[in-house]
Structure 1
Amino acid sequence: MAVSTNASEPIRFAYWVPNVSGGLVISKIPQRTSWDADYNRRLAQIAEAAGFDYALTQIRFTAGYGAEYQHESVAFSHALLAATSRLKVIAAILPGPWNPTLAAKQVATIAELTGGRIAVNIVSGWFSGEFRAIGEPWLDHDERYRRSEEFIRSLRGIWTQDNFSFRGDFYRYTNYTLKPKPSAGLPEIFQGGSSRAARDMAARVSDWYFTNGNTPENIRAQVDDIQAKARENGHAVKVGVNAFVIARDTEAEARAVLQEIIDNADPEAVKAFGHEVKNAGKASPEGEGNWAKSSFEDLVQYNDGFKTNLIGTPDQIAERIVALKDVGVDLALLAFLHFQEEVQYFGEQVIPRVRALEAARERRAEAA
């Protein structure tokens, strides 16, 4: 059985930044969540006070699936960093529209301005229509991950070496020196995906690997696989899992909210999203990706967040989070329906329960 690579460390918490409209569900249910800057600055402050470690901004270039309006991720991340003092913000970056030179310089500058509180999430791409719309080539599945790996290797080289040279199929550098380099430690590099190519890339080059929501048993299988390969490569990688949280005073209340979200789903948008992401997965050599086994209900939440089952009372959710840690999860990446008030409730009611459970386990381990 897999165990956390950092069993004695507390599990960390991140939240999806709603910097695109429509929230984090493809549903017409009324939401008290806004994509605007003032709402998100206040949300970042609430999350920081609640005990969250990271915020993850999203990258979208075209409308669809309810996301009619989008703020650019790197600039928006900097705005959230300026409104906070401890929170780390992970900016989503998409190879193709970005190249490593621009990304390395942007992030190094933001790191200098914020004491190193910026990180990046390298998104290999799943939305072919978006690439076509902006005139970017749409590569085959595994080619997208090969490009992302070269992107990551280039970022690290630029950030750590003078006279950096690199010869890849997608990026090339000759005696390139960036100054100033990040001075507060290297920015952390996150990536997502569940395909063979995604896991292998993480096991070679990424600091963090995000996977879609799932059961502890299925997550354990992914963790076992990626950690075994990382050890073979002499590499260390941490694991984050996506989850949609519905925390209420009773389980019945929480389940009723879930049902209301699904009942108000936009069927055409959900089916279109499912068609797009499942086609992207089918293009992988193994013929499946993140959403291969996702039902209509699962797809109402973009990253299978309902599957993780953080739906119920604070006690139930805390116990399920610790169960995720037991199978090797280091970070829970969370989404909510009404972000500001629910992030605050999660910080008041769930995180202290998680910390109490972790402390009790530590005491039992020391006693044993």
Structure 2
Amino acid sequence: MSQAFTVATSDTPVKFAYWVPNVSGGLVISKIEQRTRWDIDYNRKLAQIAEQNGFEYALSQIRFTAGYGAEYQHESVAFSHALLAATERLRVIAAVLPGPWHPAVLAKQIATIDQLTEGRIAVNIVSGWFKSEFHAIGEPWLEHDERYRRSEEFIRAIRGIWTQDNFTFLGDFYRFHDYSLKPKPLQSPHPEIFQGGSSRAARDMAARVSDWYFTNGNTVEGIKAQVDDIRDKAAQHGRTVKIGVNAFVIARDTEAEAREVLDEIIAKADPEAVKAFGHEVQQAGKASPEGEGNWAHSTFEDLVQYNDGFKTGLIGTPEQIAERIVALKSVGVDLVLTGFLHFQEEVEYFGKRVIPLVRQLEAGTLDRAVA
């Protein structure tokens, strides 16, 4: 039975980003073939394809240790700079971890890259969920809410360094005394600051200090609840926060083809690796005061794509996916962060077949229905 489709009310086009595969193993914990590589040559070409096909952002990943297929990892900030050097318009978001990074070091790195790339760098502040990774590199592992408290200080510090001279900040984790960074970033007021997380602490932090909030994949209804919560909280602080949602995309000419790919990914999942990942992330979430985190309600099948990307439902024909994206936009999503099985060819297919339909739906020039 068909359901009439409601066109989003926002005049701003939804933006598209993709996960940078600077980490080996692809984006699913499965032994299915993935024609995706983690080397720089592959990624330079991918960035150029994405830029030419309607993507505004790319998000590089931060990992320090192997696990869940990620045997090899390129460092995110340096890798992001390499992708910016290979493109002209694409904006690259470098993921960083407070703890391994000090805010003064990151602020200077990003200010320099911003100057060198005409203002196209952003940061994603990752509070951390992988306890074993912190232990492996000798970094203290803080309790759940303390990690977010440190991240909030980190963001307040980098924003202050980027926008003020003689910056002074006396926090519990970071302290600055009359510090002036020169040159400052080109972007005004500063490079965009992203963060993720679904816990109460994560959402409250986003409302207070972040420009963008990334959420794991979810249903339209589930995402609406998060969007409403964050925007209500942000308004109490006189702020607005933009929302990005994770989605694993399987776009094929027919819905049956797309579903067959999803079934094969799950059928060929690595059960031990998926269960180990699930244990790690769900333990991290249970440490929050409310006893929940990003993956609290994730099934085995959800965890095969480790940011719940299947839940967002961008699986089917280009028409079905475009309609779903505009449904997400209608509840407040500003950006869709995409992952793919075979990045280069599928990013191009998405750009040529899906994004134009989204733009037509946004403009009200395409009359379709959701099956």
Is TM more than 0.5 here? yes
Name the structure 2 match of 1:283: 287
Q: Residues of 2 paired with 1:21 and 1:362: CA distance?
A: 39
Of residues 288, 303, 308 in structure 1, which corresponds to 2:307? 303
Of residues 21, 25, 28 in structure 1, which corresponds to 2:28? 25
Residues 7-63 of structure 1 deviation map (CA, whole Å, 9 limit, x = unaligned)? 110000000000000000000101100000000000000000010000000000000
Where do residues 1-368 of structure 1 align in structure 2 (5 Å cutoff)?
7-185=10-188, 186-360=190-364
Name the structure 1 match of 2:3: none
Checking the alignment, whether the CA contact within 8 Å between 2:8 and 2:327 is kept in structure 1 is no
SS of 1:302's equivalent? coil
Q: Residues of 2 paired with 1:177 and 1:6: CA distance?
A: 43
SS of 1:41's equivalent? helix
Checking the alignment, whether the CA contact within 8 Å between 2:7 and 2:327 is kept in structure 1 is no
Q: Residues of 2 paired with 1:139 and 1:5: CA distance?
A: 41
Q: Which segment drifts farther, 96-105 or 180-189?
A: 180-189
Tell me how many residue pairs correspond in the alignment: 361
Checking the alignment, whether the CA contact within 8 Å between 2:62 and 2:95 is kept in structure 1 is yes
Checking the alignment, whether the CA contact within 8 Å between 1:92 and 1:122 is kept in structure 2 is yes
Aligned partner letter, 2:341: L
Q: Residues of 2 paired with 1:4 and 1:316: CA distance?
A: 14
Residues 155-208 of structure 1 deviation map (CA, whole Å, 9 limit, x = unaligned)? 000001111000000000000000000123210000000000000000000000
Checking the alignment, whether the CA contact within 8 Å between 2:9 and 2:330 is kept in structure 1 is no
Aligned CA-pair RMSD: 1.5
Residues 96-125 of structure 1 deviation map (CA, whole Å, 9 limit, x = unaligned)? 000100000000000000001000000000
How far apart are 1:236 and its partner, in Å?
A: 1.1
Residues 303-361 of structure 1 deviation map (CA, whole Å, 9 limit, x = unaligned)? 00000010000000000000000010000000000000000000000000000000017
TM-score, length-scaled by structure 1? 0.97
SS of 1:55's equivalent? strand
Residues 269-327 of structure 1 deviation map (CA, whole Å, 9 limit, x = unaligned)? 00000000000000000000000000000000010000001000000000000000001
SS of 1:34's equivalent? coil
Q: Residues of 2 paired with 1:333 and 1:174: CA distance?
A: 38
Checking the alignment, whether the CA contact within 8 Å between 2:357 and 2:366 is kept in structure 1 is no
Q: Residues of 2 paired with 1:338 and 1:5: CA distance?
A: 30
How far apart are 1:5 and its partner, in Å?
A: 11
Aligned partner letter, 1:46: I
SS of 2:229's equivalent? helix
Aligned partner letter, 2:15: R
Q: Residues of 2 paired with 1:343 and 1:176: CA distance?
A: 43
Q: Residues of 2 paired with 1:282 and 1:231: CA distance?
A: 28
SS of 1:91's equivalent? strand
**Shift in CA distance, 183/5, structure 1 to aligned 2, threshold 3 Å:** farther
Q: Residues of 2 paired with 1:256 and 1:208: CA distance?
A: 34
Unaligned residue ranges in structure 1 (runs of 5+): 364-368
Unaligned residue ranges in structure 2 (runs of 5+): 1-5
Which segments of structure 1 move beyond 2 Å, counting only runs of 4 or more?
A: 3-6
Q: Residues of 2 paired with 1:137 and 1:208: CA distance?
A: 27
Q: Residues of 2 paired with 1:166 and 1:79: CA distance?
A: 32
**Shift in CA distance, 234/47, structure 1 to aligned 2, threshold 3 Å:** same
Sequence identity, in percent? 78
Q: Residues of 2 paired with 1:5 and 1:161: CA distance?
A: 38
Q: Residues of 2 paired with 1:309 and 1:6: CA distance?
A: 21
